[in-house]
Structure 1
Amino acid sequence: MLLLYAVRMVRTGIERSYGASFQRLLTARQSHLQAGLMGLVLAIVLQSSAAVALLTSGFAASGYLAFPTGLAIVLGGDLGSALIIQILSFKLDWLVPVLLAAGGYLFVKTEAKKARQLGRILMGVAFILISLRFLREAMDPIRDSAFLPAVAGYLARDYITAFLVGGALAFVMHSSVAAILMCVTLVQIGAIPFAAGLSLVLGANFGSAFIPVWLSRGMALKARRIPYANLTLRGTWAVLCLFGANLALRQGWLGDPQGGQMLVNAHLAFNASLLLLALPACAPLGGVFARAFPEPVQAEAAQPGRPVSALEQGSYGSPAQAVANLKRELLRMADQTGAMFRPVLDLYKGGSKEQIRAVQQMDAEVNACLSGIFSKEGWLEITRMHEAILANLQLASNVLISDDLESARLLSLEKTELKRMEHDSRKRHLKRLQDGARESFDTSDIHLETLRALREFNSHIAAVATPVLYRSGQLLETRLIEDLPEGDGGEPPASGLLPKD
């Protein structure tokens, strides 16, 4: 349990610090090799290949990510998960007090969000190392009993059973890192032979591919293509390696491999070879799984015709004509917005999927009218605020469910941080206006109104933390100084400013 909790602790700290930035990393244009490297890095950061697979599936379902790129990211994530095990398999017990001291100080004594989450991450890594030591110590008496040698000998002889046990172990623990570290520890202390450990690890690789398949079962069919493709590739390669490796071990072609580090190297080689072999097949597999998981055929909802924009290049003409075109474009946007708003009550009563999809498509058309009008700097500022609000929204959900005081304090601090971001963005926007940036002049009202709306929306999100903080005595009754100093507002106003009777 400590091992599972520690892995989850590290992942939580990283998601809370940088979770909103992952969308930009995942959806950037990149080759299959670059996508695989991106998945590798994300798996190391998130401490979970399943988390990378779920993130990728979500973006693929939304249309942000093509199937071949998404599959390459997931395959790279599996290799990144193997690298985590390679790092944690070394003797790092001397790091535990350093990590606990540094992590505890950052988590308890600092107020900055990222510093606190860094402390959480460091303590999580320390707990992983502690749990591995506990696991080794707990297995010592079992190793000397008569039960484990019998089981170990059976698993060494029946490698198919060992393969299935490893798969079940990884799926039940919902963490390939934890399951494989356990197998490596058993081999390291001599509790089971290398051959049994290798079959267990190959089975754990296969079982870990079932985790994103299971977790994505409620998603759209388009989102489930990538987990199933990953399961097919990993399962096929794991079975081939299982039979090939056990045949080679029995024939003595691999010599007499021993020790947990050799098992970690075999696990790393399995995932690296799978990535190299599967990358060229990512594009062809897209068509195969598109046919295996086809989009459901639905009747198209009736949609209003979309007239040509009145602001197309070359349609400006004289200033009077440009103003007229602008008015026509505003009327077109108003008509589209009205068409979206009209069926709202019907949707609440029980709208069909076709009606909802029609409104969503009209929303995309209205958004297209507003695309490309912000300056690069202004758009980047708004994007950062949007990412921060997404992270706060996830944090508010945690507060609603758990009433966690630490999360509530962090959410309240993030409200202040977002106010600062909004204030800084306003100052930079005014500076761009002073410098004569044309895009800033064109979108000044929209930019400022968007900043205000984002801050107001974040304030509503942060209000979730208020009851928790109030019950714990973490809020002051008022922000005003109760007693003003004499002569600093306590005296009556100057003559001529008093109200007359």
Structure 2
Amino acid sequence: MSGSVVLLHLAGAVALMLFATRMVKTGVERAYGDVLRHRLRATMRNPILAVLAGTGLAIAFQSSTAVTLLVGSFAGAGIVSGAAGQLAVRGAEIGSAIVTKLLTFDLTLLVPLCLITGTFMFMATERRDWRQVGRILVGIGLLILSLEMIGQASEPLRDSQLMPVIIDYFSGDPLTAYLLAALITWLFQSSIAAVLLMATLAGRGLITPELGVVLVLGVNLGSSVIAPMLTRGAEPGVRVVPVGNLLMRGLGSLVMLVLMMIVKPTVGFLGATASDQIVNAHILFNVIILIAGLPLAGLVYRASEKIVALGVKPEAADALHVTELSALDEKALGTPSQALANATREVVRVCETVEIMLKRIIELYEDADADRIRALAALDDRVDAKHAAIKIYLAKLTKNSLTEAEALRCQELIGACVKLEQVGDIIVRNMLVHVRKKFEQGLAFTDEGWRELTAFHAAVLANARMAFNVLVSRDAETARLLVLEKDRLRDSEKEASQSHFLRLRDGTPKSIETSSIHLDTIRDLKQINSLLTSMAYPVLEERGLLRGSRLKAS
């Protein structure tokens, strides 16, 4: 068999392995992603639990990079602390190494079982969770099959005259081998796939154990680069955890490489076979990094923050300052059209602040702390201040001679501003109280109850954005759709309440404990939706599309 054909078969087997790994990861994310994210948030306060949670997620997702990106987003949103995020990532690397070890066992019998069972589950039902489990099983079957194919495809390389020359070269130049392994891992976007490939080739006698350990160190460097590259355009807070992982794992691998080049230790203690030695070296390296990372988590996080801050342009701070400038130009009061445009700009800023409050409040129901609660309350203070300034500005404007249309627009903006201020009060004075009660008493919603609340909140948030658009565009069709959504939301409220009372009747403990919080939150969200929907009424009244408080039949 020619060398090009051998390489073609090997490339095909590697491609199947990458596809199968992605298939398992996708299936887990679609079937259990929300539950796993919720569990991660709930356990990140305890350092040991953070490590275990990261380990479990990496095993489930078949990817430590996915966990790093997830934890980085949590840290950027303030949901978890930076130190806890670092520990969770350390655990994720251990989980990824464990997956690699499991896949090196003889699992040949699982191939047909996984393929048959997975295909049947995927095709025999329309249930989303069953179909995703089927996807996971098929992915596992293909992953094991790809390892067999890599072994078979690489078999002719054992007789190649060129292969020993290449191996001898890299054995004598460990730095180049280290960098090559890092590049391969970055191209694969998976440390699991890279280590499995090297372990399989070592098992066929194509890679010496000593060279294999060097390559494993390169794999860890390449894997630690992936997340920082994927988040290079993200917010600074999101990038800190991936950069911290690069500091610990990337620099750790480089230090280990230098020590190996100086000490030249034997690797026989790592396992009986070359394949075992490579995989066990991968596990041992990540265990060492975990142990070193426990006391250094806080220090690494602070160093990561400083590194990320170096890449933030100074103009960004000025841009944030500009967003706080007021659009209420007193000099424009003599020109009503300009003054109304200025007031509209300022009311839109209030809309943006209220939207942020509405988005953050549901996050606090899931995970809250004193700092984030104070930050949300501070946003309400900003809304109150802008509300007062806008009312005074428009009151001054009414002293001028206004056309009928200008007077109506003035009243519309004042009304919208009042409603936005009331929405902010509901969020802070009602819903934040529910948040404090939930966490002070250690309460938790049922999974079904939480899904109902988040779905209801998502609908209200979507309607809020529609209401803000109507305020600017004054589009009659959008206003009409917004009022129709109010009726649909009323039906959703009834369904959610009925489901909640059914759980109460069945004696579900969590439903009983959180009953008042659940029902009060639904009521508050409904009231918010009503206030925001009423912002569309002036547009509909102007076009004669309202009869009393109801839409006319179209």
TM-score where L is the length of structure 1 = 0.67
Partners of 2:215 and 2:514 lie apart in 1 by: 60
Which residue is equivalent to 1:11?
25
Partners of 1:390 and 1:272 lie apart in 2 by: 42
Q: Residues 291-330 of structure 1, C-alpha deviation per residue, up to 9 Å, x if partnerless?
A: 3333753454269999xxxxxxxxxxxxxxxxxxxxxxxx
Which residue is equivalent to 1:373?
434
Q: Check whether the contact 2:423–2:528 (CA below 8 A) recurs between aligned residues.
A: no
| Paired AA for residue 367 in structure 1 | I
Q: Residues 114-156 of structure 1, C-alpha deviation per residue, up to 9 Å, x if partnerless?
A: 1111111111010000101111111011221112111111111
Partners of 2:524 and 2:270 lie apart in 1 by: 71
Q: 1:242 to 1:66 in 2, by over 3 A?
A: same
Alignment of 1:189 with 2:189, yes or no, is no
Residue 210 of structure 1 aligns to a residue whose secondary structure is helix
Which residue is equivalent to 2:35?
21
Which residue is equivalent to 1:155?
170
C-alpha deviation, 1:364, in angstroms: 7.5
Which residue is equivalent to 1:428?
500
Map 1:116-135 → 2, pairs under 5 A: 116-135=131-150
Q: 1:211 to 1:377 in 2, by over 3 A?
A: closer
Q: Residues 84-139 of structure 1, C-alpha deviation per residue, up to 9 Å, x if partnerless?
A: 00000111111111111111111111232211111111110100001011111110
Residue 371 of structure 1 aligns to a residue whose secondary structure is helix
Residue 297 of structure 1 aligns to a residue whose secondary structure is helix
Considering fraction of residues, name the structure with more helix.
2
Which residue is equivalent to 1:384?
451
Map 1:96-495 → 2, pairs under 5 A: 96-249=111-264, 258-294=273-309, 297-298=317-318, 300=321, 301=324, 336=384, 339=387, 367-369=427-429, 370-373=431-434, 381-385=448-452, 423=495, 426-429=498-501, 432=504, 440=515, 444=519, 447=522
Residue 244 of structure 2 aligns to a residue whose secondary structure is helix
Q: Check whether the contact 2:434–2:521 (CA below 8 A) recurs between aligned residues.
A: no
245-254 or 125-134: bigger deviation = 245-254
Which residue is equivalent to 1:354?
none
Partners of 2:504 and 2:157 lie apart in 1 by: 70
| Paired AA for residue 209 in structure 2 | F
Partners of 2:454 and 2:514 lie apart in 1 by: 23
Partners of 1:362 and 1:221 lie apart in 2 by: 33
Partners of 2:213 and 2:133 lie apart in 1 by: 35
Q: Residues 355-410 of structure 1, C-alpha deviation per residue, up to 9 Å, x if partnerless?
A: xxxxx99988753332243886768644224667999xxxxxxxxxxxxxxxxxxx
| Paired AA for residue 166 in structure 1 | A
Q: Residues 428-480 of structure 1, C-alpha deviation per residue, up to 9 Å, x if partnerless?
A: 337759999898568747526859999xxxxxxxxxxxxxxxxxxxxxxxxxx
Q: Residues 10-69 of structure 1, C-alpha deviation per residue, up to 9 Å, x if partnerless?
A: 000000011122332222242222211110100000000000010111111111111101
Partners of 1:361 and 1:73 lie apart in 2 by: 40
Q: Check whether the contact 1:103–1:123 (CA below 8 A) recurs between aligned residues.
A: yes
Residue 234 of structure 2 aligns to a residue whose secondary structure is coil
Which residue is equivalent to 2:376?
none
Partners of 1:90 and 1:253 lie apart in 2 by: 19
Partners of 1:170 and 1:231 lie apart in 2 by: 14
Partners of 1:447 and 1:23 lie apart in 2 by: 24
Which residue is equivalent to 2:16?
2
Which residue is equivalent to 2:46?
31
Q: 1:425 to 1:5 in 2, by over 3 A?
A: farther
Q: Check whether the contact 2:493–2:522 (CA below 8 A) recurs between aligned residues.
A: no
Paired residues in the alignment total 386
TM-score where L is the length of structure 2 = 0.61
| Paired AA for residue 217 in structure 1 | R
Query: What RMSD in Å do the two structures reach over aligned CA positions?
Result: 4.2
